[in-house]
Amino acid sequence: MGLSTRRVVLKGAIASVGYLGLRHAALAADQNSPPVVETLCGPIRGVRESGVAVFRGIPFAKPPIGSLRFRPPEPPQRWSVIRDATKFGPIAPQGKSRLARVMGDFDLPQSEDCLTLNIWSPVLTGPPAPVMVWLHGGGQTSGSGRLDWYSGWHLAQNGGIVVVTINYRVGPLGFMYLPGIAEGNMNLLDQVAAFEWIRDNIARFGGNPKLVTLAGQSGGGRSIAAHLANPQHRKLFHRAIVQSPAIGTPPDSPDAAEATAHQYLEILKLDKASDIRRVPVVALLDAFVELNRRAKSSGQQALPFGAVDDGRVYHGDPVKQIVAGAGADKELMIGTTRDEAAARFAFDDEIVNADDAKVHQRFAKVFGQEADEYLDEFRRMWADATPYWLLVHLETEFEYLRKSLAIVEARASSERPAFLYRFDWPSPTKRFSACHCLELPFTFGNFENWSNAPMLANADPDEIKTLSHIMNRAWIEFIKNGNPNHAAMAPWAPYKSDQRTTLRFDSIVEPVGDLAGVAWRRPWPAY
């Protein structure tokens, strides 16, 4: 059967999307009383918000402070008195987000006592509901599951699913690797501790522990790739939605990660490495800023302190393992935005003002002696082929797109081919275009929480609302059924090598064959 050409045109199409207001089974009998749930650690009291039971700031591990700083998470202590779960816990210690001028900024209480999660449940009684666990982005140096951007209220209310968001350690506290001092990959281990808590407790909140979907964006998508590749981790979930995964570079070698840690100790002026457990958090963050400055001045593109190939969480590049078949039993939806790198490059004067020499230098770094041939191909592909946009498109492919394509190509002939999408709807701000993070408010359906996002300034309210209805429902259907298709959207086929179907989300929503041009473009080199 040929590729369907059915399309959904957004402008003025709101009335055709009829799923809003869908409800799952009713909450507990008394709709007015605060919900109380007995977890395995003790009882907690939440709050009801327009038909959804919400529980905030639930500890899933001991606070990683004092002797537990840089250590793997440990199970939380029990409590006997009902614990208030109506307020979010603090976010992990971090500096200013690199994308604040794109997404908007936030100023929230911070603490090392940050290992908490939040739950939105539309059904505390009745048949168990599918569960979505959200892993936030932030370049693994910032962000939090408690940000209003990731409120699960709309997904719970409109889709009848239980939504869980998680806080975990970021930056040096989440990734420093120094044998005997810091385990490395604490960020990933925090997530696993949360998954185990969810497995053991989510049924008490109306969720089905046998139907858990991991969803994550950017650094969160990178984390999901690691969990898919790890045989022990992937036992804890059943489906995955991977949005704009930052998987272009593999984890650091132990030697490289340890060398970074020693540079960090030097900046902190510590003669004895173990003294780092007593350094004030503010000093740790200030030293991290200086470490980043030194890395950038030396031409290093990746941020210091990332995932490390420790032989426990990581066993090499997880993408290679997924391509070889790891996690093939998990239903998968994956995609990118068209212009991912514009979110970082839009305020980088070196990129904004780049000339042809700068472009050729970067292409040569990626493609070597074939740089001219690849550069000519990029210029033929993109009508906006100014130096700035050529660098945006190159970095988008390098860091996000190409390894995502490798994953779906490998899955194409399996029993569970993946669903591939691309988000093309452009920001009204031209230099952002369809940048990294722009799809987030559309998938969560909570634009009221993005009112200060520069990337959405001057957007057409009707257009974004209708596109959000279509995307939000696709995410819900995948979480519930492993298939994102629904009546308000053009048919979306899984990615197969004969057609390479990609669902393009834009002012027109349509399935497109081989949107990335895999069949006719020059092969992407191994890197």
Active site residue 436: yes
Close Cβ partners of 423 (under 8 Å, ≥ 6 residues apart): 335, 336, 337, 338, 434, 438, 439, 442, 505, 506
Active site residue 262: no
Rounded to an integer, what distance in angstroms lies between the CA atom of residue 76 and that of residue 88? 17
Which residue in 288, 298, 285, 300 sits closest to 263, CA to CA? Answer: 288
Rounded to an integer, what distance in angstroms lies between the CA atom of residue 321 and that of residue 376? 32
Active site residue 340: yes
Helix axes 387-396, 371-381, angle to 10 degrees: 100
Close Cβ partners of 502 (under 8 Å, ≥ 6 residues apart): 335, 420, 421, 422, 495, 511, 512, 513, 514, 515, 516
Find the radius of gyration of the CA atoms of the chain: 23
Q: Which helix (H) or strand (E) holds 407?
A: helix 402-411
Give phi and psi for 320, each to the nearest 5.
-60, -40
Q: Tokens representing 2?
A: 């040929």
Rounded to an integer, what distance in angstroms lies between the CA atom of residue 285 and that of residue 67? 19
Catalytic hit among 112, 183, 331, 340: 340
Rounded to an integer, what distance in angstroms lies between the CA atom of residue 67 and that of residue 70? 8
Rounded to an integer, what distance in angstroms lies between the CA atom of residue 400 and that of residue 396? 6
Rounded to an integer, what distance in angstroms lies between the CA atom of residue 378 and that of residue 397? 11
Close Cβ partners of 523 (under 8 Å, ≥ 6 residues apart): none
Catalytic hit among 121, 142, 151, 218: 218
Single-letter amino acid code for the residue at 62: K
Q: Give catalytic residue positions.
A: 218, 340, 436
